[in-house]
Amino acid sequence: MGDVARLHEALQRYDASDDFQEEDYLALRRIVVGVGRVDAALLDGFIGLFFERHVLDDARRAELLAMSHSELERAVKHRFKQVVAGNQDSHQAWHALSAQVREALEAVAGPAQSGFPPSISTRTGFSPIAVEQAVAAVWSELRRRPTSKEATEELFARYVRPAMPSEISQSGSREFPSVISARLDAQRLARGIAAVLSDDEKDLFRSQLDGQPVEKWAEGRGVSRATAYRLLSRIKTLCKVQFDERTNRTRLEVLDALRMHL
């Protein structure tokens, strides 16, 4: 059975009984690979967004089910490309804002007295002066110096997200199938683990996933075995904390996802 036929059958089964299996997911994944030039580390997340908007939504799922196989393939690729394009705008805005916030945190001396500015945008992007005012207002609200992530999250939620087009979902009581939930959870955990590792820890973790002995890694990096084992101990402790209460399947998917983030 081809991927498109498999997906059509999977949509029918999901429509009837909420059953969506691993092979169904892989068929969908193969259909959209390469569409929108999505980075491999982000692909599962974009598939989750596509599923939320076009499969959980009752009306849109019905549209897909009514299509022939050739129509279904074209529609899935086109709609996935739209999902990617819309959310790349969001990612680009986040990265641009976070860069401005980092600069603002270096320039701002303390909390603001005047509150949040009405806008932080200009015709050409974000206003450095307005971002500094907004960061100072976050500082005042938190009653401490915010981290770059905290300030970016607050400003993004306050100024950027409301200006972006939103979609109304008619998904009702349907939920993500477990196969997609596990993958999204694995991606989130992988990003979180990678974000707190040093460059040496990332390199050591990558070598461990590739099966390289710790001693060989230490020799190649020019560090002592004691240092290498200390780094490995921290990696194991971090993973244990993150893996607690996760299924073995999710743990394996986290390790697989980490290859793309290290």
The whole-number average pLDDT for the span 84-96 is 76
Neighbours of 81 (CB within 10 A): 17
**Mean pLDDT along residues 212-217:** 93
Report the distance separating Cα 157 and Cα 17, nearest Å. Answer: 36
pLDDT of residue 63: 94
Q: Using pLDDT thresholds of 50, 70 and 90, give the confidence band for residue 215.
A: very high
Q: Is 33 helix (H, G, I), strand (E, B) or coil?
A: coil
> Could you tell me the pLDDT band of residue 250, with boundaries at 50, 70 and 90?
confident
Q: Which residues, 6 or more positions from 205, have their beta carbon under 8 angstroms from its beta carbon? A: 197, 235, 258, 262
Residue 181: pLDDT band with limits 50, 70, 90: confident
pLDDT category at 103 given cuts 50, 70, 90 is very high
The DSSP secondary-structure symbol of 176 reads -
In this prediction, residue 78 carries a pLDDT of 94
In the predicted structure, residue 45 carries a pLDDT above the cut 70: yes
Give the C-alpha separation, 128 to 120, whole Å: 8
Tell me what the mean pLDDT of segment 255-261 comes to. Answer: 78
pLDDT digits (tens, 9 = 90+) for 121-180: 887 788 999 999 999 999 998 889 999 988 998 998 888 877 665 554 555 556 778 888
Q: Give the per-residue pLDDT at 205.
A: 92
Lowest mean pLDDT among 22-26, 168-172, 181-185, 213-217: 168-172
Q: What is the mean pLDDT of the chain?
A: 86
pLDDT at res. 167: 53
**What pLDDT was estimated at residue 130?**
92
Mean pLDDT value of segment 226-249: 85
What does the pLDDT average to over 78-96?
80
pLDDT of 168 reads 47
What burial letters (b/e) apply to 169-198, b meaning 16+ CB within 10 Å?
A: eebeebebbebbebbbbbbebbbebbeebe
Least confident of 4-18, 157-171, 211-225: 157-171
